[in-house]
């Protein structure tokens, strides 16, 4: 039963955002990191505020050469090979929504029932008394996916410990 955490970096916060990079970390140790060519993304959007935000970051904005279509095929192949039972993200209205829009008529390589949200898990675990993990968000899609996967495991372990106490 593999689980995967996905994180993306973009040039906008709208579902139409140009995608800079995609990172996937799994509990099996498999990883995927893709840097995309934004010039291959046609009418997808970028915002002045997001560009300004990127310029203020200490990490460089990803600048890859992989066309969007090729990146989506690589992500699809990776997920279809892995066959995760759960696909986690930190807010499905960002990462998953943007990727779903990018996939468009191609269809996504996941089912709606596989999507899980770290923010919900974390808020419930903290409400029940879990210690908060404070991991650095580097805005590197793979590093962030790994950190977010660590958070999922931490908060799930806490929730499972509550079940064992009954």
Strands 19-26 and 3-10: antiparallel
CB 123 within 8 A of CB 94: no
Among 43-47, 70-74, 103-107, 134-138, where is mean pLDDT lowest?
A: 134-138
**Domain segments of the chain as ranges:** 3-165
Does domain 3-165 correspond to CATH entry 3.30.420.10? yes
pLDDT attached to residue 59: 86
Reported confidence tier of residue 166, pLDDT bands at 50, 70, 90: low
1 or 155, greater pLDDT: 155
The model's pLDDT over 82-94, given as tens digits with 9 standing for 90+, comes to 999 999 999 889 9
The model's pLDDT over 101-135, given as tens digits with 9 standing for 90+, comes to 999 999 999 999 999 999 999 999 999 999 999 89
């Amino acid at each position: 039963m593999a689980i995967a955490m996905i994180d993306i970096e973009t040039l906008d916060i709208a579902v139409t955002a140009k995608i800079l990079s995609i990172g996937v970390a799994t509990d099996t140790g498999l990883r995927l990191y893709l840097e995309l060519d934004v010039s291959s993304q046609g009418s997808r959007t970028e915002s002045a505020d997001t560009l300004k935000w990127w310029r203020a970051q200490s990490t460089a904005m990803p600048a890859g050469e992989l066309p969007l279509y090729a990146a989506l095929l690589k992500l699809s192949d990776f997920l279809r090979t892995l066959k995760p039972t759960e696909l986690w993200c930190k807010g499905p209205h960002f990462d998953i929504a943007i990727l779903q829009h990018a996939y468009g008529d191609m269809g996504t390589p996941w089912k709606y029932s596989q999507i899980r949200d770290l923010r919900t898990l974390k808020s419930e675990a903290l409400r029940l008394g879990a210690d908060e993990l404070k991991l650095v968000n580097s805005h590197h899609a793979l590093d962030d996916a790994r950190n977010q996967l660590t958070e999922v495991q931490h908060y799930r372990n806490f929730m499972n410990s509550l079940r064992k106490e009954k």
